[in-house]
Amino acid sequence: MNNQGKNKKNRKLQIFQKFLMLVEENEFKIIKKVMPNYLEKLEQEIDINTRRQLAEIEDEKEKKEIIKNAKLLKLKLRNGFNSNQLINYHIGLSSPKEFISYLEWNKQVHLGALKNDIFNLAILATLKTIKKDNKTLDVITVFQLLFTAINYLCIELQKQNIERLKQVEPMLMKREERESKKFLSTYPTIAELIDKKMGDTRSLNCPTLDELNDMVSEENQEQFMSEMRILLKKENKRRRGQNE
């Protein structure tokens, strides 16, 4: 594809991305109402894929990294779900490696859905040859074509996002390093506890507040509570800003 054709395709994908961002808030409201266990199902899928990866690896260091990435992905999904924001476009830009990993995972999800769409279209085409002039089949086919187009565009959009992120990855890595240092200096006790829990290979579950509280030693309890108050105040301020 020449540069002119590539630029035209990129512009179309950017329009599609803007459309997704416009509908995202209503999308989350519908998902929460229609599929209250949506997040739970996503996390179950992450667990299945992670266990599949772990079964193919023997190196303990690699296993630890895979488990940590799975937990980070769950946290990002929860963050996006709670703030009504698509993780693809809002969350994780300060953590390029984990974010690219998420985009790759999301691309594979849409690729799997696209394969199902193509299979469904083949069945519908077969049925159409048997039952001609069937309006119900026509309506189902139109919707199936729409789902197919959406999944295809999402795959192409993720490819573009991954490519764009990789181009600026060195700059984002420096920003991530600065923000990590800032977090470590502001919340040293919380950072240490989270790091221990995220690196725990015995479980794929994300650390809970109660678990972190149980891990705090008696002498660090006051410092932990002080850091938590600062962190919660900052998070509440961020959420209020989103709702305005």
Residues 136-194: tens digit of each pLDDT: 888 999 999 999 998 898 888 888 888 888 887 788 778 777 877 887 788 888 888 87
Specify the higher pLDDT residue, 92 or 54: 54
Taking the model in full, what pTM does it have? 0.56
Give the confidence band of 86 by pLDDT, cuts at 50, 70, 90.
low
**Portion of the chain with pLDDT greater than 90, in percent:** 9
What's residue 95's pLDDT? 64
How many CB atoms lie under 10 A from the CB of residue 200? 16
> What is the residue whose two structure tokens read 């974010």?
99
Give the confidence band of 25 by pLDDT, cuts at 50, 70, 90.
low
pLDDT at 244 > cutoff 60:
no
The least confident of 72-76, 90-94, 135-139 is 90-94
Average pLDDT over residues 131-137: 83
Domain positions in the chain are 170-244
Distance CA 155, CA 218 (A): 50
What is the C-alpha R_g of the chain? 22
What's residue 91's pLDDT? 46
What would the 3-class secondary structure string for 175-192 be?
HHHHHHHHHHHHCHHHHH
What's residue 35's pLDDT? 78
Specify the higher pLDDT residue, 109 or 77: 109
Note whether 88 and 158 are within 8 A (CB). Answer: yes
pLDDT of 97-109, one tens digit each?
Answer: 667 777 888 888 8
**Mean pLDDT rounded to a whole number for the chain:** 79
Burial 43-79 (b: 16+ CB within 10 A, else e): beebeebbeeebeeeeeeeeeeebbbbbbbbbbbbee
